[in-house]
């Protein structure tokens, strides 16, 4: 069994993928637009270039994404957050700042008692993020 995360962007999926590629080197491994489906996925003409389904990977982790269903109101992403474990404070802060651009900072980027870098935000697409720097002992344990 596998548990996957599927995030809907209400028409802004392509822009979100561009941001995530720039912020943390996400690799798009699958992309299907509505126009690629039989009968255009029964989507209206202005949704034919929207993303019906895509998969992006960051390291070994995959996130499934879509523009969702046309005509549906945007829903809040309540009850979860996506978490990035950065290798060092410099890359963590860079990712944090890129995702925060146009979004809302919930916890500013800072050093804490558990790590050299931590921050929480909601990006401009409404997706909540937690950016945390993996400390040295965690990195060593993960490598073992």
The domains located in the chain, with CATH, are 5-66 (3.30.720.100), 82-143 (3.30.720.110)
CA angle, 74 then 75 then 79, to 5° = 155
pLDDT over 80 at 144, yes or no: no
Question: Measured between alpha carbons, how far is residue 15 from residues 5, 19, 56, 134 in Å?
Answer: 19, 6, 13, 28
Backbone angles phi, psi at 5, to 5 degrees: -100, 130
Structure confidence by residue, pLDDT tens digits, 37-68 = 998 788 889 999 999 999 999 999 999 999 99
Instruction: Read off the pTM.
Output: 0.86
Answer whether 119's CB lies under 8 Å from 137's CB: no
pLDDT over 70 at 5, yes or no: yes
Answer whether 67's CB lies under 8 Å from 11's CB: yes
Backbone angles phi, psi at 24, to 5 degrees: -140, 25
């Amino acid at each position: 069994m596998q548990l996957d995360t599927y995030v809907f962007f209400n028409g802004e999926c392509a822009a979100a993928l561009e941001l995530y590629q720039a912020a943390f080197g996400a690799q798009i491994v699958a992309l299907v637009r509505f126009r690629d489906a039989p009968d255009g996925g029964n989507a209206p003409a202005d949704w034919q270039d929207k993303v019906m389904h895509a998969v992006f990977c960051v390291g070994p982790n995959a996130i499934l994404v879509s523009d969702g269903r046309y005509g549906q109101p945007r829903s809040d992403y309540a009850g979860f957050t996506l978490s990035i474990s950065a290798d060092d404070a410099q890359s963590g802060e860079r990712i944090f700042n890129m995702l925060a651009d146009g979004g809302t900072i919930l916890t500013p980027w800072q050093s804490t008692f558990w790590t050299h870098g931590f921050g929480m935000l909601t990006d401009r697409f409404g997706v909540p993020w937690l950016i945390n720097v993996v400390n040295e002992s965690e990195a060593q344990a993960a490598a073992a």
